[in-house]
Structure 1
Amino acid sequence: MAENIVNVAPRRRFRMPRTIAALMLREMSTTNGRSPGGYLWAVLEPVLALALLSVVFSYMFRTPALGVNFPLFYATGYLPFMYYSELNAKIATSIRFSRPLLAYPTVTFVDALIGRFLVTSMTQMLVAYIILTGILTLFDTRTILSFPPIFLGFAMAAALGLGLGTLNCYLFSAFPAWERAWGVLTRPLFIISCILFTFEAVPESAQQILWFNPLVHVTGTVRSGVYATYDAAYTSPLYVFGISALALALGLALLRGSHRAFVNE
Structure 2
Amino acid sequence: MTSLRTVGSTRKFSTLRAIGALVMREMSSSYGKTPGGYLWAVLEPVGGIIMLTLIFSLAFRSPPMGTNFAIFYATGVVPFMLYNDIASKIAQALGYSRQLLVYPSVTFFDAIIARFVTNMIAQLLVVYIVFFGIVTVFDTRTDPDLPKIALSISMAATFGLGVGMMNCFLFNYMPIWQKAWAIINRPLFIISCVIFLFDSIPQPYRDYLWYNPLVHVVGQMRAGFYPSYHADYVSLSYVFGVSLTLIAVSLALLLRYHRDLLDQM
Q: Deviations over 1:137-186 (max 9, x none)?
A: 00011111112211111111111001111111000010111011001001
Structure 2 equivalent of residue 166 of structure 1: 165
Query: Mean alpha-carbon deviation: is it higher for 61-70 or for 73-82?
Result: 61-70
Determine the C-alpha separation between the residues in 2 that align with 1:11 and 1:38. Answer: 38
Residue in structure 2 matched with residue 122 of structure 1 by the alignment = 121
**Structure-2-length-normalised TM-score:** 0.92
Indicate the residue corresponding to 1:248 in structure 2.
Answer: 247
The aligned residue for residue 87 of structure 2 is 88
> RMSD between aligned alpha carbons?
2.2
1:105 is matched by which residue type in structure 2? P
The gaps in structure 1 that reach 5 residues or longer are none
Spell out, residue by residue over 1:89-120, the C-alpha distance to the aligned partner (whole angstroms, 9 max, x if none). Answer: 00011000000000111100100110011111
| Alignment length (residue pairs) | 262
Is 1:87–1:162's contact at 8 Å kept on the other side of the alignment? yes
Amino acid at match of 1:117: F
Assess if the C-alpha contact under 8 Å between 2:145 and 2:224 holds in 1.
yes
1:15–1:226 Cα change, 3 Å: same
SS for the counterpart of 1:145 is coil
**What is the CA–CA distance in structure 1 between the aligned matches of 2:203 and 2:8, rounded to whole Å?**
61
Is the 1:42–1:123 Cα contact (8 Å) retained in structure 2?
no
User: Does residue 50 of the first structure (1) align with residue 65 of the second (2)?
Assistant: no
TM-score (norm 1): 0.92
Question: Which amino acid in 2 is paired with 1:202?
Answer: I
- Opposite residue 251 of structure 1, the aligned amino acid is S
Please show how residues 66-85 of structure 1 align to structure 2 within 5 Å.
66-85=65-84
CA drift of 1:7 comes to 9.3
The separation in 1 between residues aligned to 2:134 and 2:190, in whole angstroms, is 23
Q: Deviations over 1:180-205 (max 9, x none)?
A: 10010011010111111101111121
Q: Supply the distance in 2 between the matched residues of 1:155 and 1:128 (Cα, whole angstroms).
A: 12
Which amino acid is 2:102 matched to? A
Identity %: 44
Whether 1:189 and 2:176 are equivalent positions in the alignment is no
Cα 1:126–1:60, aligned 2, differ >3 Å: closer, same or farther?
Answer: farther
> In structure 2, what is the equivalent of residue 144 of structure 1?
143
Residue 18 of structure 1 corresponds to 17
Structure 1 counterpart of 2:66, which letter? G
Structure 1 pair 245–199 and aligned structure 2 pair: CA distance change class (3 A): same
Offset, 1:62:
4.0
Corresponding residue number in structure 1 for 2:106: 107
Displaced runs of 4 or more, over 2 A: 5-13, 36-62
Aligned-pair distance for 1:60? 4.0
The change in CA–CA distance for 1:38 and 1:101 in structure 2 (over 3 A counts) is farther
Structure 2 distance, partners of 1:133, 1:54, is 19
Q: 2:63 and 2:32 mapped to 1: Cα distance?
A: 39
